[in-house]
Structure 1
């Protein structure tokens, strides 16, 4: 190891020219020397930073106990995002390449001092890396796959790709998706826009959801005030965006791939502010005290939005008052915090966030709205 650099024998895998992939080994104590974990969170401006989930202490301890034992076999490697400053030197001779890989030496910059910034980021294997940093077996060789990517977007994309076998928490996935341009799975693009809209609702001071949506990046302090799980809200918005009958569907231009996000913002804030104003005693309480704020309430009221907002002109100065007028039609039919839901035969606190109860409550609210509205004419 030269001063400021770590040298390791390496294989350069020839997958593509734009993103070199290197296979090499590090001693357990060297992982912490060159790589950090990019914990998910938000900066002071509210911008998403990082992508990794929190440490699982029990899992890390189990790995460490094994690493501290005798006769360790540890084939589970790490995936690192390496800085562009790394230097690869191919070995001399005619047999250094077989057409798939090139043998050589990789030079990686080393952090100067314990508090210095580390040049690489751990994309996969954060729990293993923590155990490696604490093991007594300091010189244990650890297999590493590294790719050069100083771009956080590429790191996030690879992070989502390598975690498809053991699924990531849904709220972590949905929060990361708006931050990447290329979505790694054909099943995920539809979640990207709804998650971005949930971000907007959680951060917009004019939103009734401001500061009360629980996201993967929420700090421990923020989680104390967060009462709405983001996955339920994401699913509610996704339904409205995807269904041709959804009130948000017309705001997407499928041909051009553009979206009128300002128009969607107006619809969402108008409707959900009207919901808050119509049910003030049920709004802002944890789901254990108000089913309106739980997944079943958010999903059912999200479906009711399609009917209510069809009668509201969001560009009108009376839009909020008009939405409140429409919601008062079902006000007396709702039992968010006490009582028994008629037709459903369920006490308010027995409603659960299950497909069956979401469907039953949605249908009940739709019938009550249509029937009561017709009776008013």
Structure 2
């Protein structure tokens, strides 16, 4: 029948002990011809079937947008587990000194009339990437595949091992972003601009944040990098730093953003010098809640203010006298709170922000 045929792909067989791995390239659009996603579910007797999590639509759309851009690169291999219907035909290579690898052809039986449950392959890792390629407007997108022959229990074990690997720390990703100039998915593009600003704040000697932001390469910093990153990102897209963005590219005038931030936070440092040099456990100023709240105060005082006048506008924080960064109580409208009872939660950040802005408006 025309819908049944053998797909023959150039392949390298790698022996790991007595087990074989097969590495080959294939058009990603064709993965669905021979490999299915085994999603987690229960059969009629409540037995566990499959092992994959459901496709994450937002993540898939982000990958798809990236793949459809010129120069897209997807170097990570898709991992596929096959049943024993596939076979490897080796090519004699007596001249090779390598005994654990062999060149050949992987022969995959394809039956286009089969449903997913009867296809010879299952995707162990790469579910979202495969879906993004499938849904893209591209005519083709070749990918690398690493495969092995296994039963479902072995497949599930490999899935757990692959997905249990510790991901890169967020802080390391944030440090790498400024030096990455290639096109990235939109969420990472947004964060890259903020990450570049935070990097400058941490390394510039004239910055009030100089070497104070804790990162993988600056572990002695006392302020969490994510606290500063969120403050900057919020201002870039919703606050005073928005004026320095380039609307057509999503990038921005990093120098102007850094100057704006240095000016405001230098005023904070001068106004509260003791609290500024203490770690978060001893000061709510360097705590995530304090950084976020004063970020909103910066937007309140300096939004729309020319860069040359940011210092004058920032000087108004001298009116903040009812503060309890390190001792005492916050005299909130809802009642007093001990200084260290303020937590890095949306409700507490909003409470602290409203309190500080009320003082400025008094």
Report the TM-score, using the length of structure 1 for normalisation: 0.53
- 1:14 maps to 25
> Is 1:337 the counterpart of 2:333 in the alignment?
no
Tell me the distance in 2 between the aligned counterparts of 1:201 and 1:11. Answer: 48
- What's the offset of the Cα at 1:180? 2.5
For structure 2, which runs of at least 5 residues remain unmatched after alignment? 1-12, 16-20, 29-75, 78-89, 94-102, 110-144, 148-161
What do the CA deviations read for 1:192-244 (whole angstroms, capped 9, x no partner)?
111111111000011000011100223xxxx34x110000000011111111x
Q: What is the CA-CA distance between 1:97 and the residue it aligns to?
A: 4.4
Q: 1:209-358, aligned counterparts within 5 Å?
A: 209-218=209-218, 223-224=219-220, 226-243=221-238, 246-310=239-303, 312-316=305-309, 319-320=310-311, 322-330=312-320, 332-343=321-332, 344-358=335-349
Q: CA deviation at 1:163?
A: 7.3
1:363 counterpart = 2:358:
no
Residues 241, 311 of structure 1: CA spacing in aligned structure 2 closer, same or farther, 3 A cutoff? closer
| Cα deviation 1:228-276 (Å, max 9, x = unaligned) | 0000000011111111xx1001111121344111111110100110110
- Measured after TM superposition, the shift of residue 356 of structure 1 is 1.8
- In 1, distance between residues paired with 2:163 and 2:263? 37
Change (3 A) 1:163 1:345: farther
Q: How does 1:89-238 map to 2 (within 5 A)?
A: 91=91, 96-98=105-107, 168-182=168-182, 185-218=185-218, 223-224=219-220, 226-238=221-233
Conserved 8 A contact 1:240-1:248: yes
Q: 1:185 to 1:312 in 2, by over 3 A?
A: closer
Change (3 A) 1:260 1:164: farther
What is the aligned-residue RMSD (CA, Å)? Answer: 3.5
State the Cα deviation string for residues 308-360 of structure 1 (Å, max 9, x = none): 223754225xx53x145311122x12211112111252111111112221121
Aligned residues: 227
Scaled by the length of structure 2, the TM-score of the pair is: 0.55
Quickly say closer, same or farther: Cα 1:340–1:250, change in 2 above 3 A: same
Separation in structure 2 between the aligned mates of residue 303 and residue 145 of structure 1, nearest angstrom: 49
1:108-145 CA distance string (max 9 Å, x none): xxxxxxxxxxxxxxxxxxxxxxxxxxxxxxxxxxxx96
CA distance 1:92–1:278, shift in 2 (3 Å): same
Distance 1:187 1:260, change over 3 A: closer
Question: Kindly tell me: are residues 252 and 92 of structure 1, through their superposed partners in 2, closer, same or farther at Cα, counting changes over 3 Å?
Answer: farther
- Structure 1 stretches lacking a partner, 5+ long: 1-6, 18-78, 81-89, 101-143, 147-161, 373-377
Q: Is the 8 A contact 1:300 1:362 kept in 2?
A: yes
